[in-house]
């Protein structure tokens, strides 16, 4: 490794300390082909964004847990957006899977993977919890079976915050 390349590491630590965690809104189509503009929620309400795919077994394990969070906190203002990353190759399976899992939160289709790249997602599932100012307060990369407990605690903190 060249000495110049080693500079990447302190630079990363420095940049991560100064970079903001504000997210960029986006618009995607839902399962019925309707355009959903995330700017209607992001920066206004607490939003949970989950990137998933039908072939990803950990994602399919975590989706019923997210549905439980939607049923529990949806009326209190939490918005859940499930962004599907199957792409064009397995798009056919998305709606049957989502409906049979009983998902009633919004499922959006990121066919080109554009939003996944914008959110720097490198593996599935990846979950972001965003406060009502549009800042990411929690990121879960991959799935660990107790993640829903972690999410519950953070969501309750957000819903109790005076900003809401």
Partner 1 sequence: MRKVMFFLLLSSIPLFGQISLRNFSEYQWGNLPNSEPADLSTWYNQLNLEYRRDAVTVGLRHEVFQSAQEGRSYEHLAQRFVEWRQGPFTVRLGNFYATLGRGLTLRAFELPNVIFEQRERRKRYAYYRDIDGLLAHGKWNKIEVTALVGRPLNDAVPPDRNQNRRQGWLQGGQLVHRPWNWLAVGGAYLRTELPNILIAKNEINSLFGEINASSGIRRLGLNGSTLKFYGEHAASNVTDGNPFTARQPYADYLNANFTYKRFGLSSEYKEYRQFETHINQPPLGYMEHSYYLLNRSTHQLLADNETGYQVELTWRLNRSVFLLVNGSEAANHFFNQEYRFRERMAEVTFHPVEQMVGKFFYNVASDELKSEKTRQTGGLNMDWTFINSYSLSFDLQHQVVEQGVGEIHFGRFNNSYLALTLASSPDWSASLVMERSNDPAETDVPDTAIEEKAAISWLSVLAAWQISMAHEVQVFAGKRRGGLACTSGTCYEVLPFKGVELRWIAHF
Binding-site ranges for partner 1 (CB under 8 A) = 1-2, 5, 8-9, 12, 14-16, 18-22, 24, 27, 32-35, 53-58, 60-61, 64, 85-93, 95-102, 111-114, 116-117, 120-123, 136, 138-142, 144-147, 149-150
| Nearest one of 111, 112, 82, 110 to 97, comparing CA atoms | 82
The residue among 72 and 144 lying less far from partner 1, judged by its C-beta, is 144
In the complex, minimum distance from the CB of residue 56 to partner 1, in angstroms, rounded to a whole number: 6
The residue among 78 and 115 lying less far from partner 1, judged by its C-beta, is 115
State the CB neighbour count (10 A cutoff) for residue 38.
Answer: 22
The residue among 22 and 133 lying less far from partner 1, judged by its C-beta, is 22
Helix axis angle, 57-73 to 147-160, nearest 10°:
30
The residue among 146 and 162 lying less far from partner 1, judged by its C-beta, is 146
HSE of 113, CA atoms in CB hemisphere, 13 A: 11
């Amino acid at each position: 490794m060249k000495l110049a390349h080693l500079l990447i590491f302190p630079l990363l630590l420095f940049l991560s300390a100064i970079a903001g965690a504000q997210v960029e809104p986006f618009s995607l189509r839902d399962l019925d082909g309707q355009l959903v503009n995330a700017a209607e929620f992001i920066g206004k309400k607490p939003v949970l964004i989950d990137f998933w795919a039908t072939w990803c077994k950990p994602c399919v394990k975590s989706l019923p847990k997210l549905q439980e969070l939607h049923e529990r906190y949806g009326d209190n203002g939490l918005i859940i957006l499930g962004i599907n990353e199957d792409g064009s190759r397995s798009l056919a399976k998305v709606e049957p899977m989502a409906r049979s899992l009983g998902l009633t939160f919004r499922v959006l289709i990121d066919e080109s993977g554009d939003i996944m790249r914008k959110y720097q997602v490198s593996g599935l599932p990846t979950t972001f919890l965003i406060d009502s100012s549009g800042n990411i307060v929690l990121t879960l990369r991959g799935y660990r079976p107790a993640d829903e407990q972690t999410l519950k605690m953070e969501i309750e903190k957000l819903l109790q915050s005076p900003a809401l």
